[in-house]
Amino acid sequence: MKEPEVTPELAFEHGLNKEEYEKILKILGRTPTFTELGIFSVMWSEHCSYKNSIAQLKTLPRSGGRLLVGAGEENAGLVDIGDGLAVAFKIESHNHPSAVEPYQGAATGVGGIMRDIFTMGARPIASLNSLRFGTLDDARTRYLFAGVVKGIGDYGNSFGVPTVAGEVYFDESYQLNPLVNAMAVGIVKTNTFASATAKGEGNPVMIVGSSTGRDGIHGATFASEELSEKSESRRPSMQVGDPFTEKLLLEASLEIIRKGYLIGIQDMGAAGISCSTTEMSAKGKSGMKINLDKVPLREEGMSAYEIMLSESQERMLCVVKKGYEDRVREVFEKWDLHCEIIGEVINDDKLFINYKGKLEAELPPFDLVLGGGAPVYIREQKEPSYIKEKRKFDFTSLIEPKDIQETFLKIFSSPNIASKRWIYEQYDSTVRTNTIVGPGCDSAVIYIKGTNKALAMKTDCNARYIYLNPKEGAKIAVAESARNIVCSGGIPLAITNCLNFGNPYKPEIYWQFAEAISGMGEACRFFDTPVTGGNVSFYNESPDRAVYPTPTIGMLGLIEDLSQVTTSYFKNEGDLVYILGKENEEIGGSEYLKVIHKKVEGNCPQLDLQTEKKLQDTVLKLIRKGLINSAHDVSEGGIVCALAECCIINEEKKLGAEVNIPIKSRKDFSYFSETQSRIIVSISKDKKDEFEKVLHSFNQPFIQSGEVGGISLLINDDINIKVNELADLYFNTISRIMSGEK
């Protein structure tokens, strides 16, 4: 088939603008070939180049703490945890593919993030996710929800890595544009991690894993535009995942890394061979000669353009030490994987792509990549007009509910509050036998075998807060992630982020993005949790609206002694219940306001970083001294919902409690306020004096609110519900909706 003539119009169809096309002409000194145009279009897409976000991302704290590599330097972040070990972790989005084909979109999202981890030489030990959907009363939402969850579960379960934590929210803003963010965590020895680089003249370049087909062509550019009715037509080009091949690829890759056969290795994710060849060459300040005739294909008649842009899954590009080719081949053949030498490294700043005796592309890698010559833009910003309007809302105009207990039950059974058991029961959360605390508590805890340590991990973001106040909301996302880590006994170490926003060319969207980055950076610097890297996903818009701005935080923490692992639920009859922190009656953006009054108004809760840090330091001190039996942070739904969760999270031993909560102005405001920097703890009575002594030493505000015991949750004279009834509501609401019962 004859290739089309390259024109400015064809470049525009590829997502390039006039200035970018002119820049390509200047770089090459000529009109690009069709294959070259395709390579530029995917490498300069937002998904690969971060052209509209990198200027803002560079303002984040991207080094320091225990980081071993700076943000963006490798396939994933790397954090030193001592004992000669490091943790590789990263989060990425697969939003647009999941909107069109939820099962494969989610499955290949999991597969892609796993490859980012094991190409570092790290063995994946845990998977997490952060998901957003429309409201569950909509049939298409239920279809997307079920497909995404099954895709995550089937891939992760087959691959053999436990899915241990996550978060799921439902809101109208995600109705046509769900968010699917996948996070993975792995362990590697600090002296054996691998790099995504190409260097050394004559070193062979090998492609390993699955054959190349036409699936996923232009996936990177698809992820760099708004969803529309045309999106459905892209279904046939979606990537198809094969977790069993990926498992083989994992073992083979770790073996050749461990044996020292490699110079560098990189996953072929977005933009396929185009991305891995250019990025590895640019990183190593070298070039490559590639012969596409050597690439194993699974479809006939593929062009150079198609081969270079294919996003077929379960493929890696390896730069092998010269003379070790046969040893590498032996390893891959042992794992029943196909590998081929498709080129070599050259001491030139050019990438030469040959196919069927013709030079199809001659490109400078540096000019194609993020951090090199890829375009960088700072877009116009404008505060959205709705911000000021929503701040004017008069909360005293809200009618106070007549029945507080009924109000509480409605909020507690909201899909945003209710247990996500229907989801995580489809995941294997204990494979590999490292899981100490699985889904359902403040954060997951994974044992590091051969040590007395564990990792705590969590994903978090309340997008409603970001919508109302992007800067403050992003600070809260970081703080709450850290708070969850602390409640599990961990020291917050670092974050990865997945920044899901609308179209950056719209000034109001770019303002949200810049403000969220500012808040995130401020909080990360304060908590000394540098940003190891992550993902930006723009263009999350349907024809009707943009999604709520959703900068998801993936937080990693270290528990230095297994005896300090702490869980959220009450443990013993007679234990005392304390609430640490102050109540400020903040219901702006709350679940109460949304569920009961059908409103999203006001400002999000305010966060004082000093207050938050003092609370976290206090709780860590209490845990280390063995003074508390449980710790659970107060978040969506307020103090009453948090107390109810403490009673029932452990289904095997549900315990009631009788507590008193001071009312400041109104019961509904005090009960359902989402004021930050509050943690519910339970302690043994005989430790009361020592416990309160520590609180006083930190000048930590607290109230002793009640006692654990009985078969009901009793709060003041307003709420009296048996824990079995609470558990039924909490654990079965989503399953009833999905089965059509509710």
Q: Which residues belong to the active site?
A: 47, 94
Dihedral pair phi/psi, residue 405, rounded to 5°: -65, -45
| Cα-based torsion angle of the residue sequence 699, 700, 705, 708 in order, rounded to the nearest 10 degrees | -120
List phi, psi (to 5°) of 660.
Answer: -120, 130
Half-sphere exposure of 694 (CA within 13 A, CB side): 21
User: Are 491 and 620 contacting, i.e. CB atoms less than 8 angstroms apart?
Assistant: yes
Q: What are the Cα distances from residue 64, in Å, to 7, 181, 324, 481, 526? A: 47, 26, 36, 19, 12
CA 325/CA 165 separation, integer angstroms: 40
Spatial contact of 101 and 568, defined as CB atoms under 8 Å apart:
no
What distance in Å separates the CA atoms of residue 275 and residue 43, rounded to the nearest whole number? 7
Instruction: Tokens for 50, please give them.
Output: 């971060």
DSSP 546: B
- DSSP, res 67: B
Say whether 351 sits in a helix, a strand or coil: strand
- Residue 74 makes CB contacts below 8 A (sequence gap 6+) with 120, 193, 195, 196
Which has the closest alpha carbon to 89: 558, 431, 595, 699? 558
The residues with which 265 forms a beta bridge, in sequence order, are 318
Q: How far apart are the C-alpha atoms of 391 and 404, rounded to whole Å? A: 26
Nearest CA to 529 among 476, 473, 472, 481? 481
Q: Which residues pair with 280 in a beta bridge?
A: none
Could you tell me which of 73, 528, 49 has the C-alpha nearest to residue 264? 73
669 contact partners, CB below 8 Å, separation of at least 6? 395, 585, 587
Kindly state the tokens that stand for 699: 């000048």
In 3D space, the residue among 517, 735, 492 whose CA is nearest the CA of residue 612 turns out to be: 492
Residue 455: phi and psi, rounded to 5, are -105, 135
3-state secondary structure of 11: helix
665: phi then psi, degrees, rounded to nearest 5: -130, -45
Closest of 43, 4, 45 to residue 363, by C-alpha: 43
Secondary structure of 304-355 in the HEC alphabet?
Answer: HHHHHHCCCCCEEEEEECCCCHHHHHHHHHHCCCCEEEEEEEECCCCEEEEE
Amino acid occupying residue 52: N
SS3 615: helix
